[in-house]
Chain A
Amino acid sequence: MSRVIVVTSGKGGVGKTTTSASISTGLAMKGYKVAVIDFDVGLRNLDLIMGCERRVVYDFVNVVQGEASLKQALIKDKRIDNLYILAASQTRDKDALTQEGVGNVIEALKEDGFDFIICDSPAGIEKGAQLALYFADEAIVVTNPEVSSVRDSDRILGILQAKSKRAESGDTAIVEHLVLTRYNPERVETGEMLSVDDVIGLLSVKLLGVVPESEQVLNASNSGSPVILESGSDAAQAYIDIVDRFLGEEKEHRFLTAEKKGLLKKLFGR
């Protein structure tokens, strides 16, 4: 059965698109058929992070408005089988997406046999963000250990619990997962950054994983390749764990404590 997952955060720049790209890539690497949809109408960016920006002919809005078929608009990933990207439109018309239209596209993807439909939400709590989460079965809330991000995540959690299709129809609630990104264990240990336990306590959401602050995230986006593919990097390892946990595997959380530099250098240094 298909699972619709929204990747959301409220605040911008916390790593929604990075997380959407890596999780969808990771799920497809496991053999699942995955579609990842960019809901950020007007500010398309998922295509760039996935490295398919030059192959966008038709987009999400074209499909919703019946100007292209889903088959025409889905961009097949060149690296991973079973991974498809549906780009956002560059149109400035905010009303280009309708609830009915989005629902139809998601229904068509389900009929096409997609196991996972990942909805990459725009920042904010406006229509685009609400449409991205409306049809979700599960939510991945991306948060930075920083006050404004935590506050906005709490706000989005409230919307997930009140304004989603599941909430409105009285169905079982959306399953919520927390992904804490840009985590810096050194600064947590010196008391300069909210700890993972602080954030879990504040938001009361189950932790899916912690992604440490990593230079590889920028390197990956520079080259248009999801960071999960930068094998060997901490961020890639973190996302691989996140995908495994998402699929039900029990895995101990990593990257929560500062590296013991001397020892680590000895073991892994060149």
Chain B
Amino acid sequence: MALLDYLLGQKKKKSAGVAKDRLQILLAHERSERKAPEYLPKMREEILQVISKYVQIDQDQLQISIDEANGYEVLELNLVLPEK
């Protein structure tokens, strides 16, 4: 087993593999941003305004994206509320 771990470990360290993994994540992210509808930034701002009426939040805490999953377009809203 030790030998197997050693071999697998060696494989993982190869920089081309790391490059590929990093690019896969990055490109997927950048493509979804690119495909985002034009109204998204404005909508984000307005949602922020509504939320900040009730809770004090950091502007950067709100993440909004539109993804496609199982043939549906999904509006994803991600916000971490501050600790009380």
Contact = CB atoms under 8 A, between A and B. Distances in A.
Contacts, number: 40
Q: What band does the interface of chain A fall in when counting residues whose beta carbon is under 8 Å from B?
A: 10 to 19
A192 interface: yes
Interface in A175-195: 188, 190-195
B60 interface: no
Interface string B17-57: 10110111011001100100000000000000000000000
B27 A191 contact: no
Interface string A153-168: 0110010001000000
B16 A155 contact: no
A43 interface: no
A188 B27 contact: no
A202 B24 contact: yes
Contacts of A188: 16
Given A198-B20, A202-B20, A154 B31 contact: yes
- Binding site of A, secondary structure by majority: helix, strand, loop or mixed? helix
B27 A154 contact: yes
B27 A151 contact: yes
A162 B14 CA distance: 36
Contacts of A192: 14-16
A147 interface: yes
A42 to B, nearest CB: 28
A173 to B, nearest CB: 15
Contacts of B17: 191
B45 to A, nearest CB: 23
Interface of B: 11, 14-17, 19-20, 22-24, 26-27, 30-31, 34
Name the 6 nearest CB pairs between A and B, nearest first.
A191-B14, A158-B34, A198-B20, A191-B16, A147-B19, A154-B27
